[in-house]
Amino acid sequence: MKLGIVTGIPGVGKTTILNTIKEILSRENSKFLIMNYGDYMLKTAIEMKYVNNRDEMRKLPLSIQRQLQLEAAKSIYKDASSLGEGLSFLDTHAVVRTLGGYLPGLPKHIIEILQPQVIFLIESDPEIIIKRQENDKSRARTDYSDPQVIRETMDFARYSAMASAVLVGASVKVVRNVEGDPSIAAIQIIKSMT
Ligand SMILES: Nc1ncnc2c1ncn2[C@@H]1O[C@H](COP(=O)(O)OP(=O)(O)O)[C@@H](O)[C@H]1O
């Protein structure tokens, strides 16, 4: 099993880069799987009849959200394992900025289930991230509209990713999403996994 965890601040271009990875690997006829942590949590939440949609999930008691997070990790590992030698990518966050402080996205009991090879941190200059957010009105990302806040969150994402990596012997790779060409980051990510 080869699993890469792809993380980055909202608006940095994670979805765009993962879509580019999908295009490249499909063209090469390679076996791959791209998973989104939130989708797995939502699937379990609906199956267990806790919620009907994504927005209800954030309002669930924290104990239930933790249970969903754990169930999702088990399913993700299972799906990645069943792919054999193919590449698996998991779209999630190294850190989540909350009112109570920075929350690690990959705590010990979760990263130990996932067993990734690499944790990727997608980064761009804060000013560029803000510009991308402004150009993309389809999403609400106003939590991250101040360059200072973005810079601090990116620093904590690095600390958090390395702390998680230490627990399972994964590597941490910073990948720049270059303005105008997301395929540079996509190719770098694929190369780091093979
Ligand atoms: N390398 C890039 N150059 C220019 N624009 C980009 C680049 N990567 C992403 N974008 C644009 O930035 C916006 C946010 O990208 P998205 O992939 O949705 O971010 P995320 O999934 O990290 O929140 C989108 O409008 C996207 O088209």
Over residues 8-16, the mean pLDDT reads 95
Q: Which sequence spans correspond to the domains of the chain?
A: 2-32+90-192
Contacts of 168 (CB under 8 A, 6+ apart): 111, 112, 114, 115, 116
Whether 154 and 9 have beta carbons less than 8 Å apart is answered as yes
38 is an annotated ligand-binding site residue = no
The pLDDT > 70 percentage for the chain reads 98
Q: Is the ipTM of this complex over 0.85?
A: yes
pTM, to two decimals:
0.95
Q: Does domain 2-32+90-192 have CATH number 3.40.50.300?
A: yes
Confidence of residue 144 (pLDDT cuts 50, 70, 90): confident
Tell which one of 132, 133, 143, 145 to mutate to probe ligand 1, the residue whose CB is within 8 A of the most ligand atoms: 132
pLDDT of residue 145: 82
- Of ligand 1's atoms, which has the minimum distance to the CA of residue 181? 1
Q: Is 67 helix (H, G, I), strand (E, B) or coil?
A: helix
- Tell the residue number behind the tokens 């510009």, with chain if given: 131
